[in-house]
Structure formats: C-alpha cells, structure tokens
Amino acid sequence: MPTFYEGEPIAVVHQTLTAEEYAQAAVFAESHRSVWSRRGVRAAAALTVAALAFSCIPVYRYQYATAWIPIAVGCLGVLLAAYFFWFQPVRMQKRAAAVFQKNRFWQQRCKIAFYRDSVCCETPYEKISGYWSDYYACYECPAYLVVAGGWDRHLLIVDKKQLSPGQREAVSAHMREQFANRYLWAKQ
C-alpha cells in the first residue's frame, strides 16, 4: 500500500457509514467550524436584536406616534431565533444526507489507515491518500472523528465504534498532536 510515510499504520479501521451517521457527523463538524456556526450563538444574536427592537418601542412611539417598525423587527428577530435553533439543524442534516446519497462511493465499505504524516482511504472503487497538512481541522466527539478539508473529500469521517479502545486512544492522541490548535474535542 503506497503511503507518504514508510512505516506501520497507527490504526486501520474498516467501516461502512450510513446516511444518518454521515449527516450527524457533517452537522457536528459544520456547527463547530466557528463560533458563529453554532445554533445557540445564532439564535442568541437574533434574540438580542429582538430585545433591542422591543426595548425601542417606547422611544419610537414617543418620537413617531407609532411602533410598527420596532415590533416588526422584534418579531422577525424572534422568528429568526426559532429558525436558527430548531429548523436549520434539521435542514442541514437533510442536506448532508442527500449529499451522502448522491455519492455512491461513500456508501461502500472503506478501509482507512492512519499514518504518521498521512491518511489512506480505500474503497473497492477509489483510493485516496493525503497529508495531514492538506486538512484544515479535526473535530472529535464520543461517537465520531471528523477531519475537514483535503483535496478529494471534504470530510473524512471515522465512526469510533469501529475502533478498539486502544486504537481509539492512539488515533485521538495522534490527531491532537497533528492538528494542535486546529483540533477540537466536543461532547456534541
């Protein structure tokens, strides 16, 4: 198996992802990409706009004898907060599942080998190799390890249930070392 680093792999995992697993991992990675990507932060920002608009009602009524503009802005802020908190994550999950369903290669059983400097993902139809420096971030939770970026696949998702406890710890330690400040562990 050609790799960029000649040596034994740190871990080898054989897995077959489902659309639901891919969607959960993709939404997890997207929501932890930045602070503004989190649904709670977006909803809080929209509620802040709504609170500011509602607090301007007395001044606006005194100045203009009507309050329909701050009421409309406040209601829009509340509706946006509800959308960001409850509806957008569901839409993101459906969109990620649709992306997974369109790519038949991702639905195949794959073998992922973790090396010191690189990763090799192999299915019956494709073989992808890449350096860790090609990826821009690594997100880890109790269920998944998601490496974002790369040239061929935007997300490299590893279902941690497929790893033994020793492999899980070795891969986690290796990812923390490789990605340093681009590594994030979250409870989900």
Q: What is the DSSP secondary structure assignment for residue 185, as one 8-state letter?
A: E
Predicted confidence (pLDDT) per residue in 156-188, tens digit: 999 999 999 999 999 999 999 999 999 999 987
Predicted confidence (pLDDT) per residue in 126-156, tens digit: 999 899 999 999 999 999 999 999 888 889 9
Token match 């790799």: residue? 3
| Global confidence as pTM | 0.86
89 φ/ψ angles, rounded to the nearest 5 degrees = -60, -35
- What is the per-residue DSSP string for 109-172? -EEEEE-SSEEEEE-SS-EEEEEGGGEEEEEE-SSEEEEEE-SS-SEEEEEGGGS-HHHHHHHH
Residue type, 153: R
Residue 36 structure tokens: 């503004």
